[in-house]
Chain A
């Protein structure tokens, strides 16, 4: 057999490694800023670009797509070449992928700060960037599949299956969830509305966690853990079963994010059953990782890299156990909308993704720089700071979450809410927010030591840009199954068929979940008093979206006595039929706002109250941690696209009467005049063309329809 000589491209690995480190630090610092803002709202700087509602999406997107994203690519470009004994398919594609992705990140951060957002969590980017992401993602997949096809090995190692599943699934999730009709270059309305939009969004949200934060990292685990421990994976059979069960089941468990909201019971129940079943394959992966180290625990004690990997895998096990628990109705009733969710995702992000990434980089950089790690001691310090950081981050938040949830639900003996003032339940847990800041700071301090350690390592080494390797060309065994060759063996030899089968597996789960969401419209009882938003309210709603109010406020009253007492009537699916996109939110840092416009309700506030509250919440709610929005009082309302907005809404099926476009602007000004008048009676002078007027119109509309049945 002819031996071929070739070179591994280490430069692309180095690029992605540097990008991972750079964006990791940025993402964490922005997260720290967000944590600080929740204690000291002044740190929103009274500036639109730096308020919590815009900073928080920058943080989540930076960590998920910039830090973890680049980490995935770094690990894949390193391991894929070696597992296939082939250089990447095309250097040009590699570098288009690299620079394209970095450009998208920069554009993403910029547009989010400017307030261009769809408000769909972890999919906030507007449509031009969605298209760019799809293109670059395909470049990545093309490069990867090309490499696999021209490989010099027979069998395709399990890590690569996870990479392939990641590629196909993320592509589908991204495309399906991003369907929207553009209004302008930086503004679009989701194709879906209300319940349907929420279902699609959390089908996406849940699976973004599964297929962006989990499957690629499991692939990396199956490569880097054996390499770092220098022993093969514990059970290869388990990895096969684990893989198929995981990709099939994960896609299913979307609806549990919306438990107790206005979904049909059967979707809820099924989501729960499947997310519990999900524990099995997840733990299969964890056990496979941990058991690989059996008999090597003495080395784990010495080697900081193995320590990072062990804690990462353990954190994975923890959060995949906790996740299904959180989908149980009784647990969810407590944890939903609280900081429990935040703690949960940080076990995953800081523990699983963060520690895995650190471990891999500590292992990989000395190798591609042909040197030794600068300081093992420093890496150990990093490990302990990081671990303490995670504990200080998560434990106080769990505590705070339960405290607050119980306060929300507590009644006095006479049957009144014990803490009718929402803010009281917030100030109660502020000490926990302080502790969280400490945890985050410890973690970042560790990460900075890591940067220094890597920097010194790089300085002391010589970069091996091209690593020479040789291998026999792959035997051409033909497409047919060989005698005695099992189906799965055959499948692994055929990457395209493998990809298609993986695709089929996730599609079965996906279609079965998405089809009902398409059908769901018929399941939603219509409420005749629910009418489309007026043009002014629509503009106000867009301001609400732009400022990211949904990052702190829900619009979803659950059918619990504690909630109907506090907010008013519980939410009905039929209320949201014109909500493109939905605004249910996932976290109540502030109170639910969906009954803000019920004049006879507990939540109602006069226009002048809202005016002062938005100018500076602490004027009317001392100790509030809501940011101030003074610019809403001075900014002129941008009316240039109201016609276009109405037209797009009509296209989406919102029943504005024919010809409404022509009178939209007049209608808007008329309503604005009423609010200005109303404000004047409350002692506030303003003009009818200010943004605040539209926002007040929107807030006063919330829940108004169903209250006038």
Chain B
């Protein structure tokens, strides 16, 4: 077994890899930012409140 690398040894233009990631990353970043901005205020408020609603039954867990 001579490690996978041998198959890949002679690939030219390796610099294309980082350039591709940069492009993918930037477009993803922009897309997610736009989506995030479009979420309605009400939804955002609901989501923020999630940690405060854990459905505990007050009588059975007196301290809360």
Contact = CB atoms under 8 A, between A and B. Distances in A.
A518 B17 CA distance: 13
B51 A236 contact: no
Interface string A631-649: 0000000000000000000
Interface in A452-507: 464, 467-471, 486-489, 505
Interface in B1-47: 1-6, 8-11, 14-15, 17-18, 20-21, 24-25, 28-29, 32-33, 35-39, 43-44, 46-47
A519 B5 contact: yes
Contacts of A521: 3, 5-6, 9
Contacts of B51: 79, 82-83, 157, 159, 223, 226-227, 232
B54 A241 contact: no
Nearest to B46: A155
28 contacts: A79-B51, A82-B51, A83-B50, A83-B51, A85-B55, A159-B51, A226-B51, A227-B52, A232-B51, A237-B44, A240-B35, A248-B25, A266-B15, A367-B63, A468-B56, A468-B60, A469-B56, A470-B55, A488-B39, A509-B25, A515-B8, A518-B5, A518-B8, A519-B5, A521-B9, A522-B5, A522-B11, A652-B1
A289 to B, nearest CB: 14
Contact of A469 (B2, B25, B54): B54
The SS class assigned to the B binding surface is helix
Contacts of B3: 191-192, 518, 521, 652-653
A189 to B, nearest CB: 12
Contacts of A153: 50
Nearest to B35: A488
A241 B36 contact: yes
B48 A232 contact: yes
Residue of B1, B35, B38 contacting most chain A CB atoms (<10 Å) = B35
A653 B38 CA distance: 55
A240 B32 contact: yes
A157 B47 contact: yes
Contact of B54 (A85, A245, A270): A85
Interface string A130-160: 0000000000000000000000110101110
A152 B49 CA distance: 15
Q: Which 6 A-B pairs have the closest CB atoms?
A: A232-B48, A82-B54, A522-B9, A468-B60, A471-B55, A469-B55
B39 to A, nearest CB: 6
B17 A236 contact: no
A237 B17 CA distance: 30
Given A467-B61, A470-B55, A487-B35, A270 B48 contact: no
B38 to A, nearest CB: 6
A236 B36 CA distance: 9
The SS class assigned to the A binding surface is helix
Contacts, number: 132
A486 B35 contact: yes
A470 B32 CA distance: 34
A535 B8 CA distance: 31
Given A469-B54, A470-B57, A508 B39 contact: no
B56 A467 contact: yes
B20 A512 contact: yes
Nearest to B29: A245
A236 B21 CA distance: 26
B45 to A, nearest CB: 8
Interface string A266-308: 1000100000000000000000000000000000000000000
A266 B16 CA distance: 11
Q: What band does the interface of chain A fall in when counting residues whose beta carbon is under 8 Å from B?
A: 35 or more
A227 B51 CA distance: 7
A244 B28 contact: yes
A619 interface: no
A359 B31 CA distance: 36
A240 B36 contact: yes
Q: What band does the interface of chain B fall in when counting residues whose beta carbon is under 8 Å from A?
A: 35 or more
A522 B10 contact: yes
A355 to B, nearest CB: 20
B50 A157 contact: yes
A512 B5 contact: no
Given A245-B32, A367-B64, A488-B36, 5 more contacts: A83-B54, A233-B48, A508-B25, A522-B11, A652-B3
B36 A237 contact: yes
A370 interface: yes
Given A241-B33, A471-B55, A486-B35, A518 B4 contact: yes
A670 interface: no
A651 interface: yes
Residue of A191, A249, A522 contacting most chain B CB atoms (<10 Å) = A522
A520 interface: yes
A83 B24 CA distance: 32
Contacts of A244: 28-29, 32
A653 B2 CA distance: 5
Contacts of B64: 367
A516 interface: yes
A192 B17 CA distance: 21
B21 A232 contact: no
Nearest to B24: A508
Contacts of B9: 519, 521-522
A196 B9 CA distance: 13
A236 B41 CA distance: 10
B39 A232 contact: no
A252 interface: yes
A5 interface: yes
A274 to B, nearest CB: 9
Nearest to A366: B63
Contacts of A158: 47
B31 to A, nearest CB: 9
Given A236-B47, A509-B21, A522-B10, A651 B1 contact: yes
A159 B52 CA distance: 13
Contacts of B20: 512
B36 A469 contact: no
Nearest to B16: A512
Contacts of A266: 15, 18
Contacts of B62: 370
B32 A488 contact: yes
A232 B52 contact: yes
Interface string A343-368: 00000000000000000000000010
Nearest to B33: A241
A608 B47 CA distance: 70
B12 to A, nearest CB: 10
A475 to B, nearest CB: 14
A512 B21 contact: yes
A519 B1 CA distance: 16
Nearest to B63: A370
